[in-house]
Chains A and B, each alone.
Chain A
Amino acid sequence: MTALTSWLSTWAERVSGMGPLDWVQTLVMVAIGGLLIFLAIKKDMEPTLLLPMGFGAIIVNLPGVYAPASEHGAFGPLSTLFDAGIANELFPLILFIGIGAMIDFGPLLSNPKLMIFGAAAQFGIFFTFCMASIFFDFNDALSIGVIGAADGPTSIVVAQQLNSKYVGAIMVAAYSYMALVPIIQPPVIKALTTKKERMIRMPYEPKSVSKLTKILFPIIITAVVGIVAPDSVYLVGFLMFGNLIRECGVLNSLSETAQKVLANLITIFLGITISTKMYYADFLRGETLLILGLGLVAFIIDTAGGVLFAKLLNLFTKKKVNPMIGAAGISAFPMSGRVVHKLGLEADNQNFLLMHSMAVNVSGQIASVIAGGIILSFGLGA
């Protein structure tokens, strides 16, 4: 009986501060958690992250779970995980090793000039930062801009290092829009290109790439980026370290572990841990909606930047590129590359753009990390 009374009083104490609005907001967050799980399972939208985030959102918003006075953190083991892996940016950086091990830079190395489209498609990051600076302070605006990197780990690292108050909303926006790339990009691409442009064929002429090139490439990228933007050296370095493991040829078991076990483990922890930033009192604010809107702007401007840059290039070159491949320069891999390939086939059923669009898509991964580093240096230097 005493135990029951004690349990009841503890629970009552925790929920005593909740007014009617808090209960409604709690229900809304549980519904959002449910929606994320639904989108992950039923619509197959970034399920590896949306499902843990959705489930975590339900956990942290259950009445009585939030315990700010607890010595183990407001959300117990989730807070411990957050401190251990996200507050110090360890999880996203380790995840980069796995991502690096998954990437085949072969098609890009075979045609390096395609990398320029990866750079052009980062325009949305900086444009969105300028837009966000109207509503948010400098470092929050920078963190919101990085949603346009279409790269979850980079968004987390930048938002954490710049001490943004909106990590949860930024994460949700980044991963949701990555999943929505097949819906967001086609109308933007079609609005900016004519059917004739979409029909431009780009014959794939693969060149052999030596093993030495594949080994030296990640080392050179790390060195160049590290010198130019030292704040991004860990972002790029971990990504390229994973790729070096893959390409060196003597660490196959480590490469497989990085691609599968390591990446999967970190993804599980990352998704459920980030949900600690989805507590209703922090998440259900007007700013969250604004961040979601700005995230959409970032993806649209990224896409437009890539396409328009390709069109501009076509004005000065004899060998025309299909301007749609510029849109694949965002980091959402491989969704963006596939979208462009599909639109090419839609315009002309013999127009195979896959190898080019994937090469540009991979370059977007490199460019987005560099952009993240530049944003970091702006924020840390301000």
Chain B
Amino acid sequence: MMNLINLAKDLPNVMNFVDNLGYMGVGMLIIIAVIGIIIGATNLLNKFTGGKK
């Protein structure tokens, strides 16, 4: 296992994957937050503009 990890470390740029995981986290967080805001706003719209069953 350690050999594999060492091998991976020796490959060029392979650590970029780990370095960029932060972007993945931030990106997904922003999308979910924005969609959350839109869902909330749409629910409010439906409530105040007569959306009913």
Identify the A interface with B (CB < 8 A): 109-110, 112-113, 115-116, 118-120, 122-123, 125-127, 129-131, 133-135, 141, 205, 207-210, 212-213, 216-217, 220-221, 224-225, 228-229, 363, 366-367, 370-371, 374-375, 378
Contact = CB atoms under 8 A, between A and B. Distances in A.
A220 B45 contact: yes
A-B CB proximity, top 9 nearest? A126-B24, A112-B42, A133-B16, A119-B35, A210-B49, A212-B49, A210-B50, A213-B45, A130-B20
Given A133-B17, A209-B51, A115 B39 contact: yes
Nearest to B31: A119
A375 B17 CA distance: 16
Given A110-B51, A125-B27, A228-B34, 9 more contacts: A115-B38, A123-B28, A129-B23, A130-B17, A133-B20, A134-B11, A208-B52, A367-B31, A374-B31
B38 A109 contact: no
Given A208-B52, A367-B35, A370-B34, A134 B21 contact: no
Contact of B23 (A120, A209, A378): A378
Interface class of chain A by DSSP? helix
B49 to A, nearest CB: 4
B13 interface: yes
7 contacts: A109-B42, A112-B43, A115-B38, A210-B46, A220-B45, A228-B30, A229-B34
Interface residues of B, number: 32
A217 B17 contact: no
Contacts of B52: 207-208
B7 to A, nearest CB: 14
A116 B35 contact: yes
A135 B45 CA distance: 46
Nearest to B33: A228
Contacts of A118: 35
A217 B20 contact: no
A119 B24 CA distance: 13
A366 B53 CA distance: 25
Given A129-B20, A221-B38, A207 B30 contact: no
Contact of B46 (A112, A224, A371, A375): A112
Contacts, number: 119
B35 to A, nearest CB: 4
A262 B34 CA distance: 30
Contacts of B41: 220, 224
A129 B13 contact: no
A284 B38 CA distance: 43
B4 to A, nearest CB: 15
A131 B46 contact: no
Contact of B45 (A131, A216, A229): A216
Contacts of B17: 130-131, 133-134
A123 B30 CA distance: 12
Given A115-B39, A119-B32, A213 B27 contact: no
Contacts of A127: 24
B31 A207 contact: no
Contacts of A205: 53
A20 B46 CA distance: 66
Contact of B34 (A135, A217, A224): A224
A134 B14 CA distance: 5
A37 to B, nearest CB: 37
Contacts of A208: 50-53
A222 to B, nearest CB: 11
Contacts of A110: 51
